[in-house]
Each structure stands twice: as structure tokens, then as C-alpha cells.
Structure 1
């Protein structure tokens, strides 16, 4: 239970909840799509009025109209045409916003799904290793101290002590970790991926690389590529520091200080045994120093472990967005030269719906909850 509690606490520290950001970007997409539908409906209404006016003009010859009615007829036609132009512009604007919001939604779905998959495939094992570090070594040292004392107190118990020693020798942290994960497979099994939720009959369920967002996506792709290169270098340095710290901590935890045979020399008096013990590695002063040094190293190890996991999570999410944009832009360029057909252009990339969300500062939909502008 203590191991599960430690894993849960670490989980709350290094794994952010994906649902809040995903819901926000989905809500934005739904809002813009609803506005696009409304603008399209108003545009169709204006087109019907224009057609109706045109039919009336055909039925009533201008020669049959009185001279004073002709300017009024022309004014009515111009008003309808002006209204249609305004609604056409509004529809185009709303459609562009909807496309951008849908793209952000799909990209963030991809990032969050990748992060969740990484957690259940890699991070769970690493979290258990992090919480379990030193447990088996400390347990082995404790039992070996006990064994050393028992062997010197009563040689007749050697057979029973050999059984305990064999059990200590067979302690295996990796095997124990796998056993715990197998026993709790429902907890450590990756869940179903989040799927794209289309809004009000929207048939586009892929990241769209059509103009005018193609140039923006290309710039965003290069920004992600540069950001990933920097993060990988930084995270690799953190990993090296983490490995060195872990080795130092393991060296502290595997010190062979379990032999207490000197305390059971029959030729010594009680006072001489106490004096000898105070001068050895097991003295209280030495133990206090080692414990303080070990605690400081453990805190540094946990800090670096958290930094490494957070960095690798960010890299996983950005890599998912980068890969999706790379495929989108690649297929967009090859498909854009062919003939368009069906309900979608050929250069709209087909991509799985089960994608997630993650906000990236400086991209189209930033952490402040507003659209970001491209530089230049």
C-alpha cells in the first residue's frame, strides 16, 4: 500500500490532467463551427432573396413599370446584393476560424494521447523504480545484519538462517515490480484513446493543410522542430545527471556494513565492545552523517527525476504534434497537385481521430486562451 501511495503522489506531481485543456479547445472548435453554420445559413437566405428578386424582375418587364417605380426597384436590388456580399465575407471569416480551431483540437488530441500512452507504457515502470530505489538494498542490509548476529549467537540455527539468507539473495526488484503490475493489471493497463468529437455534422475529421492555413502550419512545424531539438539536448543532460545521481545513491545503499561479528567476540568485555563499536563505521556519528548525506542525495534524485519525466512528457507531446504536422504537410503537397474530388480536397490528410490536446506557448491557441499571431 505504501508503494502505491508513493506512486500516486508522484503521479500527481509529474502527470497533469489532460481533460481541462482538451475540453477548452474542443469548446472553442464547437463555438467557431456553430458560427460557421449560422453564417452559411444566413448566406443561403440572402442568395434565396436575390434569386427571388431576380425572378420578380424577369416577370415584370421594366417597360411595364412606371417611371417613378424604376429607381425604387434598382435600390432594392442593390441592397440585396450588398447584404449578400457582407454575409459571404462573414461566412468566409467564420469558416477560416473553424478550420484553425479544428486543427488545434486534432493536434492537441494527438499530443495528449501520446502522453497518456507514454505514461502507461514507460512512466509507470519508471515511477515504481523511482519509489522502489534502495528498498531492496536496505532490506538486504537489514537481514544480513540480523544473520550476522544470529550466526554468532547460536550456531545450531545455521540451517534455518541459510533459508533466510537464500531468500535475501533472491531479492529482485525488477521481478517484484512485474509481479505488482501483473496483480494490478487493471490499474496499469493503458485506457482507450480519446476520440475526435465532430460538432453538428462536421465531416472534416483531419488536420487540414489547405490554404490559407498551410503556410501557418508550415511555420508551426518548423517552430516545433526547433523546440524539440533544444528540449532533447536539455533532457539528455538531465538524464545524465539523473544516472550519475542514481549510481551515487545506489553506492550509498549497497554499502556492506552488515557484518557485526566484532560485537560478539567472547574475549571482550561489554565495555570494550561498546568502545570498539563507537570507533567503527557503525558509530552513531558516522550513521548520522551518512543518513544526512543520503537524504540530501535522495531529494536531489527525486528533483531530477521529476524534471526528467516532465521534460520527456513535453517532448512526447511535441513530437506527436510534429509528426502529425509533418505527415499533414507532406501529403498536402503531394495531393494538392491532383484533381480534387469527393467532399474533401485530396490534400486534406486522413489521420486517426483518437488524438489529444496540449497547449504550447507561442502557437496558434496559447495558454492564455487566445489566438497567437505568427511573427513577421
Structure 2
């Protein structure tokens, strides 16, 4: 409301000044007096010419000239005053117009300002601050994730697992020999009639032990060759176009469906065999 009142007051002042230039009689009065002055001066010059023609006995003409001189002087003063009023009004009007267009318009715009620029600036600053904070958090999270990925160590995790579950994975106590009653024999005895049987059992145990050792080595070697990554579906490692544009890394592991199924079956067999 106050801004509207100021705007109305300034515009009314400008309108009043420009209207006065057209309605007030300052310039009309100046024009009229100047016309009268030109006319009176012309009549005075005409009388002076007549006086030159009649150099003697022209008292009546002399009084006429004096009368016209007084009239010219009087009209000249009135004309000068009217001209001054007209020039002052004209200067005031021009000053008012200049002030309105060079100063008041900017003031009116400032008065009509509802704080748009300040509000927009604060909103955008808050948005940018939030986005920058989110970007910083994302960068920090990616760095932490990269550090965690780089720190992956299967051997260390295995040793940690065994240490944390020591009771579950520690070697149990040996089975001790418990003789019956008063039997004093504590070692395997090989009497003549038992040598062949013990030798046969020894060979069987050695063969069985060798087979178990070979199976263990095969499982170990096969486990190192069959990777879990080979069992992941292509779609699981597919990167969207947006992600590809924002990252320079790409996944090159893309096994065929048949190979993936085969590797998955082999990996399951390995774990089932080990378990």
C-alpha cells in the first residue's frame, strides 16, 4: 500500500507539471507581450522616422515619441517578466521529467520489489548446498567402498574365521587306548599267523589314504579354477547406459548361459563334496 501511494504521488507530480505546461498561460502571456513589444517598437521607429522628416515644429510628434518610448519600455519589462516565467516553468518541467525517468522509475521498481531475487538466491543456494553435500557424501561413500573392496583378503578372512570360532575348528583330543582289565599290551603285535592279514590291511589303508589325498588335491585345484563370478548371470553385471556414461569402468565378464550353468553345477558339486 505504501509503495502504491509513493508511485501514485510521483506520477501525479509529473502529470501536474506537464499539464501546467499546456494549460498555464505563462507561454501565452510571453507570446502576447512579445507581440505587443514588437508592435510598439515598430510604431516607435515609425514615429522617429516622421520626426526626422519634420525637424522643426514637431512638438506634438515629440510627445508622441516620448509616449511610445514609455509604452515600449513598459511592454518590454512585461515581456521580459513573462519570458522569465515561461523559461522557469519550462526548466522546472524538464527537471521534473528528467528526475522521473532517471531516478524515480528506478525507485518505483525498487519499491515494487517483493524480494524475488533475494528469495530465488536463497532457495538456489540451499539447493546447491544440499546437492553439494549429497555429492560429498556420495564421494565419501564411494571412497569407503573402494577401500573396503581393496581390503578384501580371503586368506585373512579365513584365518579370522578360524580364530573367532576356535572351539568349533580346533583339533579334538586324541583317542586313547583303554585296555581291558589287566591287559598290558599297548601296541599292535604281529605274530606269525597275523602278519599276512596286517600286511593286507596296511596296503588297503595306504591305498585308501592315497585316494583321499588325491581327491583332496583335486578338489583344492578345482576350487581355485571355478570362480563364483563365473556363475553370475549376465543381467546381474549389466550396466545401464546412464551408469556407463557416469563411470569409466565396464564389466568384461560375460559368460554364456550354458557355461554359467555348467560352472554353477561344478561349484555346487565342489561345495557339496567338501561339506
Q: Which has the higher helix share?
A: 2
TM-score higher than 0.5? no
TM range, smaller chain: 0.3 to 0.5
TM-score for the superposition, normalised by structure 2: 0.37
Higher RCO structure, 1 or 2 (CA under 8 Å, sep 6+): 1
Bigger-Rg structure (1/2): 2
